[in-house]
């Protein structure tokens, strides 16, 4: 069975099992092709069903992306059975451009004069004058998306609800692992997972490749975001072509492209978010923790890390310290799955380690390895992998402004976000899931 036929079977399951279906449409190629394929299926097999379209607008984006989203919503606004939601609300969004700020806030009502672009004026736009239920002022972007699902369920009769996402397994190892190791999917399907009671998320394109996506766009003559054409002309690799907030960990390296592709937006970005110009100029240099990082004279990597931590504001310092301590405990108590080649290297170079069972989070069921002594200062002598603990690795996270410690293998989770002090201070009365 090819991926298209498999997708049709998944659509059939979704329409059978869920009363309410809506799609999270970012303006990227994956959510765009999923939207078009979903509407084609609905029109052919379930023309009486209502489809919701949710767009979470992060304010700072290429003009061509805004044009594509506008074209899509305009094309669908008078179609029967289509509910449109274009959300432009202040929300805490990760930034990797500043050593001193964890977040910036799209559509910040206190900085309206510096907005990158005017707020869209359409009847289906949701803003501070008419927010949706469950929205909390400046709530985290992930919480906003999840709470919208609860709102959509209530707005459509409280039946079982599913949000469709354009996520694919081959986008990253983290996403692949997320699908493969899913423990509580709907009807044992790894591509459907629960958010709240009667609110689910589904990724029916999870086994599609980039080629599959572009083949579908070509074969069915779908409209798409022509930013990808500009990316191609600029010489970007496929895995570098992202439609996302330009200030996060995944996009900051390509900030300089804004100056070439969309200079008018670029001028506004510089004045909108602290560190935008610096990140564009130095995004792939030593200044941002790339290329060869040298250790200052008189320091070990541990002492240099501690020195850098002392220079940070308390909330950022605590953010890093919590993650570093979590990593240290993990490698002392549980251990990470490592290949036999890496284990042999560690033994040959005198590292004090022992096996601790099998890791189910590795493809080959690798052995878990525990470090018995102190965490190494560096592991430059280990050539087979970088995925082992060291103070140098922690130090690089600080130098890269990697607040989530993605460089150390951490993923951004809802639970982690709820532990961040700034959110707790502002919304101390929040209860999980409410």
- Give the model confidence (pLDDT) of 215-260 as tens digits: 999 999 999 999 999 988 888 888 778 887 776 655 445 566 776 7
Please say if the pLDDT value at position 173 is more than 70.
no
pLDDT number for residue 421: 44
Interval 80-102: pLDDT, tens:
999 999 999 999 988 766 655 67
Q: What's the rounded mean pLDDT across residues 197-208?
A: 95
pLDDT number for residue 98: 60
Average pLDDT for the chain: 85
Contact of 306 with 296, CB cutoff 8 Å: no
pLDDT number for residue 29: 97
pLDDT number for residue 298: 86
pLDDT number for residue 291: 41
Q: What's the rounded mean pLDDT across residues 282-308?
A: 68
Q: What is the DSSP letter of 189?
A: E
Query: What is the band of 3 on the pLDDT scale with cuts at 50, 70, 90?
Result: very high
* DSSP of 27-90: SSHHHHHHHHHHHHHHHHH-TT--EEEEEE--S---HHHHHHHHHHHHHHTTSTTEEEEEE---
Residue with tokens 């709820």: 418
Please say if the pLDDT value at position 189 is more than 70.
yes
pLDDT number for residue 363: 74
pLDDT number for residue 182: 63
Residue with tokens 């610096």: 278
Query: What is the band of 355 on the pLDDT scale with cuts at 50, 70, 90?
Result: very high
Interval 381-391: pLDDT, tens:
999 988 899 99
Q: Which helix (H) or strand (E) holds 353?
A: strand 353-358
Interval 115-133: pLDDT, tens:
999 999 999 999 999 999 9
Give the residue extent of every domain in the chain.
3-219, 227-288, 301-399
Interval 12-39: pLDDT, tens:
999 999 999 999 999 999 999 999 999 9
Q: Does residue 185 or residue 277 have the better pLDDT? A: 185
**Residues in the chain, how many?**
434
Contact of 353 with 370, CB cutoff 8 Å: yes
Among the ranges 171-180, 208-217, 236-245, 423-432, which has the highest mean pLDDT value? 208-217
What is d(CA 238, CA 236) in angstroms, rounded to the nearest whole number?
6
Q: Which regions of 108-258 does DSSP assign to beta strands (E)?
A: 125-126, 161-164, 185-186, 189-196, 199-202
Please say if the pLDDT value at position 281 is more than 90.
no
Contact of 400 with 375, CB cutoff 8 Å: no
Please say if the pLDDT value at position 416 is more than 60.
no
Please state, as a whole number, how many other Cβ atoms lie within 10 Å of the Cβ of residue 397: 23
SS3 string of 298-328? CCCHHHHHHHHHHCCCHHHHHHHHHHHHHHH
pLDDT number for residue 250: 53
Q: What is the CATH number of domain 3-219?
A: 3.40.50.620
What is d(CA 87, CA 345) in angstroms, rounded to the nearest whole number?
51
């Amino acid at each position: 069975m090819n991926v298209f036929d498999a997708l049709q079977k998944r659509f059939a399951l979704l329409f059978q099992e869920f009363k309410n279906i809506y799609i999270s449409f970012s303006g990227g190629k994956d959510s765009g092709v999923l939207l078009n394929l979903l509407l084609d299926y609905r029109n052919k097999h379930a023309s009486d069903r209502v489809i919701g379209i949710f767009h979470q607008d992060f304010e700072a984006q290429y003009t061509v992306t805004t044009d594509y989203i506008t074209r899509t919503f305009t094309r669908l606004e008078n179609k029967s059975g289509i509910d449109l939601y274009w959300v432009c609300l202040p929300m805490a969004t990760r930034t990797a451009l500043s050593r001193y700020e964890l977040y910036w806030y799209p559509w910040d009502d206190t900085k309206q004069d510096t907005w990158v672009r005017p707020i869209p004026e359409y009847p289906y736009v949701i803003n501070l004058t008419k927010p949706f239920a469950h929205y909390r002022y400046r709530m985290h972007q992930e919480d906003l998306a999840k709470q919208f699902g609860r709102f959509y369920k209530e707005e459509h009769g409280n039946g079982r609800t599913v949000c469709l996402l354009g996520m694919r397994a081959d986008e990253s190892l983290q996403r692949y692992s997320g699908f493969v190791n899913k423990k509580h999917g709907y009807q044992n399907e790894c591509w459907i997972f629960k958010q709240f009671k009667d609110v689910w998320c589904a990724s029916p394109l999870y086994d599609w490749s980039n080629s599959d996506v572009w083949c579908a766009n070509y074969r069915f003559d779908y409209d798409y975001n022509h930013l990808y054409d500009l990316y191609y002309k600029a010489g970007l690799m496929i895995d570098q072509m992202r439609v996302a907030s330009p200030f996060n960990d995944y996009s900051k390296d390509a900030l300089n492209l804004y100056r070439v592709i969309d200079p008018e937006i670029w001028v506004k970005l510089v004045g909108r978010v602290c560190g935008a110009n610096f990140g564009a100029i130095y995004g792939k240099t030593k200044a941002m923790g790339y290329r060869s990082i040298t250790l200052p004279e008189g320091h070990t990597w541990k002492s240099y890390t501690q020195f850098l931590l002392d220079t940070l504001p308390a909330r950022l310092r605590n953010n890093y310290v919590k993650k570093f301590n979590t990593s240290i405990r993990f490698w002392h108590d549980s251990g990470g799955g490592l290949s036999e080649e890496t284990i042999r290297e560690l033994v040959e170079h005198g590292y004090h380690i022992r096996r601790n069972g099998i890791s189910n989070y590795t493809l080959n069921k690798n052995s878990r390895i525990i470090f018995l002594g102190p965490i190494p200062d560096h592991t430059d002598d280990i050539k087979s992998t970088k995925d082992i603990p060291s103070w140098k690795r922690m130090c690089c996270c600080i130098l890269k402004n990697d607040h989530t410690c993605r460089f150390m293998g951490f993923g951004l989770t809802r639970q982690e976000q709820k532990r961040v002090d700034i959110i707790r201070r502002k919304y101390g009365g929040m209860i999980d899931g409410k």
